[in-house]
């Protein structure tokens, strides 16, 4: 991938160059399309990419720019889209055979807001089927490779989005994060991934996995790009009843106005449960030590804090997320849309359609969710998990009383090799550092923190902030990344 003109180039730099007339939008899109054509055979990040559609949109952006009617300074910049976020007249399969040929009649709010500013949806990016997985190996169609080492997974579930950005197939991409699905692949591929506060970004047009946890967010080369995209996609939306009616925007300005400053006056907490006895690989532990030292050098006060219910987070998550998924995925029955396998009668058609259409991991989670909601187990598992979720939320509230941000690893290990993790429980347990954030509803970001001394693979560093404190989070993350 060396030598590609736009390799690792942030979208804000591309915007400046477009506005200076360094190249046209059509030339820009053509360059990315050529790069994908040359390299995606190895990475396999895209499920679909309609070059003609992209070029048509790019030429329209050029015409607007020529007429002085650009939709924004970003008019004509391509953005990759995870395949569970719908875009009008494009397929939305969620990497599932069941939805393989479904074409969306509408734009998700996030995509509509991108289009309103002139961004061009750039293809459909691979993922774990219905966002259920941590490696992208659960896609029904293809395994995406990690552009940093093609023998390794890109992480998941937004593995296609992370690989797209890491391979510079597009300047940035959208992903979705239910238990770490933006932050973990961002860490595995060495890019930036932001999980906004629950309710910050509309879920309208995001195919639901676990409705109380899902959130769309940007995956980018740097923190300013994440802030720019959050400015565009966030804000109240009447189409999502869980969308927060609060003022949004100003995130990019917050980062720009603070550029180059220090972390002075900021108190950063290290939750001991994420370090001691947490099974960190030596390379990850070393990068964390370096970043803690960096935080001190940048002027932050670093303190120890505790999130005592951390060890229950995986159990709570896999009860609540699967329970919600079993209800959300009940709609995929082969009647109104999607692939149908005809049976003897209606109910038999449901069984056959779902049996043939869903992959193993999706079936496993639907079964687990159905089980924890079933008569006799609801109180023991589901209701109890909701109560422990309250305790996990309180842990964060308590910690944020004594510090402004938390600093943690994103994953215990760097990206693993294909097929290395086959036991589902082991795969679930590796989500330990990312899922509590979704249960609490707060916001967090994964940024590149350094490299593993054993494998050379990227290691992510996670910063967590209280709900609606994205400006604080992004300013600090930007400061860290400039230091790294």
Query: Which residues in the 196-225 window bind another protein by CB under 8 A?
Result: 198-199, 212-213
**Segment 244 to 263, residues that bind another protein, using CB under 8 A:** 244
Q: Which residues contact 25 (CB under 8 A, 6 or more apart)?
A: 18, 58, 59, 61, 62, 65, 75, 76, 77, 120
Binding another protein (rule: CB under 8 A), the pick from 42, 151, 296, 351 is 351
Q: Is 82 a catalytic residue?
A: yes
> Any contact of residue 391 with another protein (CB under 8 A)?
yes
Applying CB under 8 A, the span of 119-127, 236-244, 400-408, 451-459 interacting with another protein comes to: 236-244
CB nearer another protein, residue 67 or residue 346:
346
Query: What strands, in cross-sheet order, belong to the sheet with 215-220?
Result: 46-48, 120-125, 78-82, 172-177, 215-220, 192-195, 443-451, 458-465, 405-409, 267-271, 301-305
Per-residue mark of binding to another protein, 78-117 (x: CB under 8 A): -----------------------xxx-xx-----------
Contact 78, 6 (CB under 8 A): no
Q: Which of residues 456-475 bind another protein (CB under 8 A)?
A: 467
Residue closer to another protein by CB (options 150, 391) is 391
Q: Which of 181, 202, 234, 446 is catalytic?
A: 181
Is 1 an interacting residue with respect to another protein (CB under 8 A)? Answer: no
- Quote the distance between the C-alpha of residue 367 and its chain's center: 25
Task: Decide if residue 378 touches another protein (CB under 8 A).
Answer: no
Q: Is 181 a catalytic residue?
A: yes
* Region 419-448 residues binding another protein, contact defined as CB under 8 A: 423-425, 428-429, 438-441
Does residue 384 belong to the site contacting another protein (CB under 8 A)? yes
Among 16, 331, 335, 453, binds another protein (CB under 8 A): 335
Position among 85, 316, 406, 464 found at the interface with another protein (CB under 8 A): 316
Is residue 217 within 8 A of residue 437, CB to CB? The reply is no
Question: Cβ 49 to another protein, closest distance in Å?
Answer: 21
Check: CB of residue 465 under 8 Å from CB of residue 194. Answer: no
Residue tagged 């004594």 (tokens): 402
By CB under 8 A, is residue 483 in contact with another protein? no
Q: Choose the catalytic residue: 157, 158, 161, 176.
A: 157
Residue 59 or 236: which CB sits closer to another protein?
Answer: 236
Whole-number CA gyration radius for the chain: 21
C-alpha–C-alpha distance, residues 410 and 418, integer Å: 20
| Closest to 11 in 3D by CA, of 252, 202, 304 | 252
- Binders in 136-195 for another protein, by CB under 8 A: none
345 binds another protein (CB under 8 A): yes
List CB contacts of 186: < 8 A, sequence separation 6 or more: 155, 162, 192, 193, 219, 410, 446, 460
Binding residues with another protein: total (CB under 8 A)? 79
List 217's β-bridge partners, or say none: 175
Distance between CA atoms of residues 22 and 1, nearest Å: 22
Residues annotated as part of the active site: 82, 157, 181
């Amino acid at each position: 991938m060396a030598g590609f003109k736009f390799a690792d180039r942030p979208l804000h730099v591309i915007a400046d160059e477009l506005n200076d007339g360094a190249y046209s939008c059509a030339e820009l899109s053509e360059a990315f399309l050529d790069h994908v054509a040359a390299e995606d055979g190895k990475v396999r990040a895209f499920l679909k990419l309609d070059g003609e559609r992209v070029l048509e949109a790019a030429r329209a952006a050029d015409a607007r720019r020529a007429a002085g009617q650009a939709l924004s300074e970003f008019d004509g910049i391509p953005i990759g889209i995870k395949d569970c976020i719908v875009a009008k007249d494009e397929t939305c399969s969620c990497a599932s055979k069941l939805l393989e040929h479904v074409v969306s009649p509408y734009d998700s709010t996030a995509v509509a807001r991108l289009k309103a500013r002139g961004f061009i949806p750039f293809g459909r990016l691979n993922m774990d089927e219905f966002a259920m997985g941590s490696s992208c190996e659960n896609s029904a169609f293809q395994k995406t490779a990690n552009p940093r080492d093609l023998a390794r997974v890109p992480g998941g579930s937004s593995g296609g989005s992370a690989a797209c950005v890491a391979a510079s197939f597009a300047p940035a991409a959208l992903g979705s994060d239910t238990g770490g699905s933006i932050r973990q692949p961002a860490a595995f591929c060495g890019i930036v991934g932001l999980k906004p506060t629950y309710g910050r970004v509309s879920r309208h047009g995001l195919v639901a996995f676990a409705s109380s946890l899902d959130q769309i967010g940007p995956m980018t080369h740097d923190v300013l790009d994440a802030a720019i995209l959050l400015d565009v996609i966030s804000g109240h939306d009447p189409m999502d009843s869980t969308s927060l009616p609060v003022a949004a925007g100003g995130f990019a300005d917050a980062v720009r106005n603070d550029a180059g400053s220090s972390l002075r006056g900021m108190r950063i907490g290290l939750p001991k449960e994420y370090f001691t006895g947490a099974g960190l690989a030596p390379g990850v532990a070393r990068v964390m030590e370096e970043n803690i030292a960096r935080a001190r050098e940048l002027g932050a006060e670093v303190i120890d804090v505790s999130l005592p219910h951390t060890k229950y987070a995986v159990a709570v998550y896999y009860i609540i997320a699967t329970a919600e998924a079993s209800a959300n995925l009940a709609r995929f029955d082969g009647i109104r849309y999607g692939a149908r396998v005809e049976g003897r009668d209606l109910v038999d058609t449901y069984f056959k359609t779902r049996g043939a259409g869903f992959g193993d991991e999706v079936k496993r989670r639907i079964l687990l969710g159905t089980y924890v909601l079933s008569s006799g187990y609801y109180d023991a598992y589901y209701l109890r998990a909701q109560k422990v979720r309250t305790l996990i939320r309180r842990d964060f509230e308590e910690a944020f009383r004594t510090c402004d941000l938390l600093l943690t690893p994103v994953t215990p290990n760097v990206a693993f090799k294909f097929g290395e993790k086959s036991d589902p429980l082991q795969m679930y347990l590796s989500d330990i550092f990312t899922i509590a954030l979704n249960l609490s509803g707060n916001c967090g970001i994964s940024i590149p923190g350094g490299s593993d001394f054993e494998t050379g693979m990227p290691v992510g560093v996670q910063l967590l902030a209280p709900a609606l404190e994205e400006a604080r989070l992004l300013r600090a993350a930007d400061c860290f990344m400039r230091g790294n």
